[in-house]
Chains A and B, each alone.
Chain A
Amino acid sequence: MTTVAPIAPTEQPGVAAFAALAAHAEGPEWLMARRAAAAAHFAEVGVPSSRNEEWRFTPVSGIATTAWTAPGVSPAVSAEEVAALRLSEGPLAVLIDGRFAPDLSALPAEIGAKSLQAAIDSGDAVVRQYLGTVAPPEMTPFSALSLATFTDGVVLHIAANTTLDAPLEIMHLTTSAADGALVAPRVLVTAGQNARGAVVEQFVSLADTLHFSNAVTELVLGEESWVEHIRVQREGERAWHIGFTHADQARASHYRGFALSLGAKLCRHNIHARLGGEQVETLMYGLYLTRNEQLADTHSAIFHDQPNSNSWEVYKGVLADKSRAVFNGKVFVQPIAQKTDAKQTNRNLLLSDTARVDTKPQLEIFADDVKCTHGATVGRLNDEQRYYLQTRGIGGRTAQELLIWAFAAEVLTEVTVSRIRAGIETIVRVRLDEMLG
């Protein structure tokens, strides 16, 4: 048996390019210190190889072998173009190639949202408190890379005892200027005590470029707050997309996440929630649709740090062609976290013989009085259901569509904002129609 020596991170061409990008990063002293620490950490660990258990089925070496640049000068994007892609009608923050676009955004002062850069410049103490600390750089190599290199982003503070009337929509758009570039936006959402609100983030490519989106979203949920976070990733199929969402939850807060992933050549989404108080509720729903040679990877981690809290997770996938999906669901229950109720489900529907799913629950339970369950399935369309529909006159493709839709509907109905749900349903219907060819 021969062994191959691992490439030292510093020998990765991408790492040098990232270091150059990090060297151009700006900010006040406190931020530069964090950026430097993150850059140092990333230089040490580098882009993970498939020998890293967390990345075993998700080859990202292509990120390490590319000398990514900063995005060039973005072409003009019209308000109509943006409007056509929207899922909601309320406040809007638009980022073009990772840079905030004030002319396309609509952020009334009273909703407490602004660009991350503006918030940093104004000396926002909340940003200083949380930026890069909710999702600490050592959590994944790419969260470190994000902190070292992020260009701009969006901050939303929902004040205590207030309700955001309409969801904030954040559009992460890439243009032809993103070709060969690293696009690195960050979002920070804080909800004060008893605050309520919904945020929808979309990732869309306006040009079919080969770029690398490395997006981080941090959410801080105060006591008794309620936050719904919807994430729609529909980038072009040449893109690399690495996303990291982390929610920190205080006592009696409610986090409700929904992630749709149907874009990018390779998409990896880490979604983490830390249940840091009692009576916390964490709901994570997701749907991934893959085709051609796409890969969609979801790594979730739910940290039950305190007793009497619940988490409920359902992720579903529909795979066509030679596409692949990876699901890894971690649930950590600390010794103190008695009466934890955690349920995790991952179901996959294969539409071809060549699609493949690697799904793995990973429950680490150190308390003895808990209810933790998990279930994972990988299957095909049910022949008996198809036959039953046929005998009722519903045949061929119509029957297929109906059954796939029924499979996906279970998670789609969990988006509570009806207008956004309807928009997401349309996106899913169009893609399923394309997948069936």
Chain B
Amino acid sequence: MPLLQITDLHASADEKEILKGISLTVNAGEVHAIMGPNGSGKSTLAQVLAGHPAYDVTSGTATLEGEDLLDMEAEERAWAGVFLAFQYPVEIPGVTNAYFLRMAFNEIRKARGLDELDPMDFLDILEEKLRVVQWGPEIMERAVNFGFSGGEKKRNEILQMAVLEPKLAILDETDSGLDIDALRIVSDGVNALRRPDRAIILVTHYQRLLDFIVPDFVHVLAGGKIVKSGGKELALELEAKGYEWLTGVAEGAAV
């Protein structure tokens, strides 16, 4: 059974159809890149999978290990093993990173019938996870994403992914707004989290990220549909030719 199976997924926001029939199979251990021009629906796909209430799924299915993902609330998807690294991580003043991460960790454990960890035991786990993003413990006393630089916010998303250990991680434009050093730290973090029992979907506009995190498959999304799929060499082709030759295909296919 594939980890994630998306079949003919249609979704809209404010009654405007954005996803127009997406089908995608992702197996455990694989890294898929979803590329495409602005407005192609890449971020919408990420948000629909995570359960954003602003999007209506009008038809199609999405299952995680055979379970209907679309029937679950966003938190239930997290309990089931879905993680979305946000393009724009949300600031939560008044809640420390340490408190937030431990609460998230324990809520997921509780949902899976496991014991909650007390702050001391959690600290041991945290220390190890902080190394994934090359951070010291001082970041944990700051309010969640509050006053963080763009790079710090993205690192914090990867730290959360490391702590929450999802089966399916969706990284939405994680490379946007990062300088080369931050991109390297974030990519090293993601690579350290690649595992045979975990799949990763990278949503990105640029090929640059794929120099650091090498995908197994590349899909091009245009006009709400996957217009081309291939191996990692497809990303290089896109880098050389741009998206126009494919978006042309998309328009032709829609006729």
A394 at the interface (CB under 8 A from B): yes
Take A393-B104, A394-B103, A394-B107 as given contacts and tell me if A388 and B89 are in contact as well, using a CB distance cutoff of 8 Å.
Answer: yes
Query: Which A residues are CB-close (under 8 A) to B82?
Result: 391
Q: Which of A387, A391, A402, A407 contacts B103 (CB 8 A)?
A: A402
B84 engages A391 (CB within 8 Å): yes
Distance (Å) between the CB of B80 and the closest chain A CB? 10
B93 at the interface (CB under 8 A from A): yes
Take A388-B89, A390-B73, A391-B84 as given contacts and tell me if A406 and B95 are in contact as well, using a CB distance cutoff of 8 Å.
Answer: yes
A393 engages B53 (CB within 8 Å): no
Q: How far is the CA of A409 from the CA of B94 in the complex (A)?
A: 6
Distance (Å) between the CB of A375 and the closest chain B CB? 15
B65 at the interface (CB under 8 A from A): no
B74 engages A395 (CB within 8 Å): yes
B90 engages A395 (CB within 8 Å): no
Interface size of B as a range:
20 to 34
B104 engages A392 (CB within 8 Å): yes
Take A387-B74, A388-B86, A398-B103 as given contacts and tell me if A393 and B93 are in contact as well, using a CB distance cutoff of 8 Å.
Answer: no
**A398-437 interface bits toward B, Cβ cutoff 8 Å, 1 = contact, 0 = none:** 1100110111111000000000000000000000000000
B221 at the interface (CB under 8 A from A): no
Distance (Å) between the CB of B171 and the closest chain A CB? 13
**B64-107 interface bits toward A, Cβ cutoff 8 Å, 1 = contact, 0 = none:** 00000000011111110011101001101111000010011001
A362 at the interface (CB under 8 A from B): no
Q: How far is the CA of A384 from the CA of B103 in the complex (A)?
A: 18
Q: How far is the CA of A402 from the CA of B102 in the complex (A)?
A: 13
A396 at the interface (CB under 8 A from B): yes
Q: Which of A384, A396, A406 contacts B90 (CB 8 A)?
A: A384
A292 at the interface (CB under 8 A from B): no
A-B pairs with CB below 8 Å: how many?
73
Take A387-B52, A388-B86, A402-B103 as given contacts and tell me if A394 and B92 are in contact as well, using a CB distance cutoff of 8 Å.
Answer: no
B92 engages A388 (CB within 8 Å): yes
B111 at the interface (CB under 8 A from A): yes
Query: Which B residues are CB-close (under 8 A) to A389?
Result: 75, 92, 104
Q: Which of B52, B79, B86, B92 contacts A393 (CB 8 A)?
A: B79
Query: Which B residues are CB-close (under 8 A) to A354?
Result: none
Distance (Å) between the CB of B152 and the closest chain A CB? 16
Query: Which A residues are CB-close (under 8 A) to B73?
Result: 390, 395
A391 engages B95 (CB within 8 Å): no
Distance (Å) between the CB of B112 and the closest chain A CB? 10
| A→B interface (CB under 8 Å) | 383-385, 387-396, 398-399, 402-403, 405-410
Q: A387-B74, A390-B73, A393-B164 are in contact. List 19 more A-B contacts (CB 8 A).
A: A383-B53, A385-B92, A387-B52, A387-B53, A389-B92, A390-B78, A391-B50, A391-B82, A392-B100, A392-B160, A393-B108, A394-B103, A394-B107, A395-B73, A395-B74, A402-B100, A402-B103, A405-B94, A409-B95
Top 7 nearest A-B pairs by Cβ distance? A395-B75, A406-B94, A390-B74, A393-B78, A388-B90, A392-B104, A393-B108
Q: List 22 A-B contacts (CB under 8 A).
A: A383-B53, A388-B92, A389-B75, A390-B51, A390-B78, A391-B77, A391-B78, A391-B83, A391-B84, A391-B86, A393-B79, A393-B164, A394-B103, A394-B104, A395-B74, A402-B95, A402-B103, A405-B95, A406-B92, A406-B94, A407-B94, A410-B94
